[in-house]
Amino acid sequence: MLTELQRRMREWITAPDGVRSLDDDFATLLQEDARLPAVDRLEIYANAFFFRIHDALLEDHGALAASLGEELFHDLVTAYLLVHPPHHPSLAHAGDALPAYLADAPSAEPFRRACPWAPDLARFENARVAAFHAADVEPLPRSALETRAPDAWESLTLAFTPSFDLLSGDWPVHALTRAHDAGDPLPEITPAGMWIAVWRHEERVRFRTLDADEAQTVAAARDGATFGMLCEQIAERAGVEAAPARAASWLSQWQAEGWLRLG
């Protein structure tokens, strides 16, 4: 009985066209009083449900909301929830499907037309949310690299922290997020292939862009390539003489930035 009541309540609160669109006897579950009939009382819950998710998405996707404008962002949340109602108890996951929805869904076409960069921006902002909520791990100390035996470098594999992610896209959406975070007007952006690293270090979510060479090296390292294999790949792109110094420089930087963890 309780399960059935919970199911009906969920259907009522999440009805795509509103509570009044349903042909149901709400008074069987909600008691009416002299001030409000059952349907009006239920609408209070339904509106609270929508706006709580709306506000959570607004907080996590501030630059996207600023790009679209208040009304169009409201329409986006409405259309998105019709296709992807939340299935996770944490609101941190409310926007998990938003990048794919913006990229592919027919009902997202108005938002793509208004902001062609919307899928890339949603993916970037989702990565920042994921980095914020990622598990804490012990970062790789500098001493772990300094004390490694020379003959052990070739077989070294790198482990990245749970908060780290590497994104590729067609738009420099990080410029929009940087401006929004600073409270500045959003800049005009034009298509430009980008690689962006996102991670959390010292309790703060950070990001920076990478050139194609560094990005390819990071991607290979995350796929399990050894340090020796990374040097060989860099040598193919930049030359044999430049490869060791470039690989060592990046490894030192990644460790200092907090990308790496103890394996």
Q: Do the Cβ atoms of 230 and 218 come closer than 8 Å?
A: no
Do the domain assignments include residue 199?
A: yes
Number of other residues whose CB lies within 10 A of the CB of residue 48: 11
Of the pLDDT bands very low, low, confident and very high (cuts 50, 70, 90), residue 87 is confident
- Please check the confidence at residue 6 and state whether its pLDDT lies above 90: no
Could you tell me what percent of the chain has a pLDDT over 70?
82
Band (62; pLDDT cuts 50, 70, 90): very high
Residues of the domain holding 211: 119-257
Q: How far is the C-alpha of 49 from the C-alpha of 51, rounded, in Å? A: 6
| Tokens, residue 232 | 């060989």
Please give the model's pTM, rounded to 2 decimal places.
0.85
Q: Exposed, middle or buried by CB within 10 Å (0-12, 13-18, 19+), for 49? A: middle
3-state helix, strand, coil in the chain (%, to 5): 60, 10, 35
Specify the higher pLDDT residue, 43 or 56. 56
In this predicted structure, the answer to whether residue 45 has a pLDDT above a threshold of 70 is no
Asked whether residue 39 is domain-assigned, the answer is: no
Residue 4: the pLDDT is 66
pLDDT of residue 85: 84
Residue 103 has pLDDT above 70, yes or no: yes
Residue 71 within a domain: no
SS3 95: coil
- Whole-number pLDDT of residue 5: 61
Please return the burial class of 118, using the count of CB atoms within 10 Å of its CB with bins 0-12, 13-18 and 19+.
Answer: buried
Residue 235 lies in a domain: yes
> Is residue 228 one of the residues assigned to a domain?
yes
Is 104 inside a domain boundary? no
76 in a structural domain: no
pLDDT of 165 > 70? The answer is: yes
Position 189 in a domain? yes
Q: Structural domain tally of the chain?
A: 1
pLDDT at 61: 98
